[in-house]
Amino acid sequence: MKITYTGQNIKVGAEVKKNLEEKLSRFEKYSSKIIEAHVILKKEKIVYYAEISVLAKNIKAVGHGKAAENIFAAIDAAFLKAETQLKKFREKTKDHHKSVNRKSSIRKGLKLVKADTAEPEDSEALI
């Protein structure tokens, strides 16, 4: 996964990059085909903003976060929003059917049940 960082009025330091790489590696469990991630960090007066854009094969997830405390709180908020979008996409694309051969296995089971419950033709009638 290719990660690009952009900082506006803020310097993206090694500690911030390490934190982001750790968080972005968690996205691999939702989609193994993540191509790139773009992180934009901003500071306007006393408010920090973070935007995380994740581009995968079939989806683009974007999370925006805002916090007055520090940049890490804004990153956490953006991460949660992007993670929610990826989870939602995974659930939509997940195949919820148990098995393709389920009908054929039911038919085989019905044949066995019918064979067991049928009376043999040679049996004598019990009175």
pLDDT tens digits, residue range 2-48? Answer: 999 999 999 999 999 999 999 888 888 887 788 899 999 999 999 99
Sheet with strand 47-56: strands edge to edge = 2-8, 34-44, 47-56, 60-67
Whole-number pLDDT of residue 53: 93
* Residues 6+ positions from 2 with CB-CB distance below 8 Å: 35, 36, 37
**pLDDT one-digit tens code per residue, 63-94:** 999 998 889 999 999 999 999 988 888 888 77
Structure tokens belonging to residue 11? 């310097």
Instruction: Look up tokens 């691999």; give the residue.
Output: 28
Query: How distant, in Å, are the alpha carbons of 6, 9, 13, 110 from that of 17?
Result: 11, 16, 6, 60
The domain 2-93 belongs to what CATH superfamily?
Answer: Ribosome hibernation promotion factor-like (3.30.160.100)
Exposed e or buried b per residue across 35-69, where buried means at least 16 C-beta atoms within 10 angstroms of its C-beta: eebebbbbeeeeebbbbbbbbbeebebebebebee
What distance lies between CA 62 and its chain's CA centroid? 13
Whole-number pLDDT of residue 56: 85
Report yes or no on whether pTM surpasses 0.85: no
Query: How distant, in Å, are the alpha carbons of 1, 54, 89 from that of 57?
Result: 12, 10, 12
* Residues 6+ positions from 104 with CB-CB distance below 8 Å: none
Whole-number pLDDT of residue 103: 64
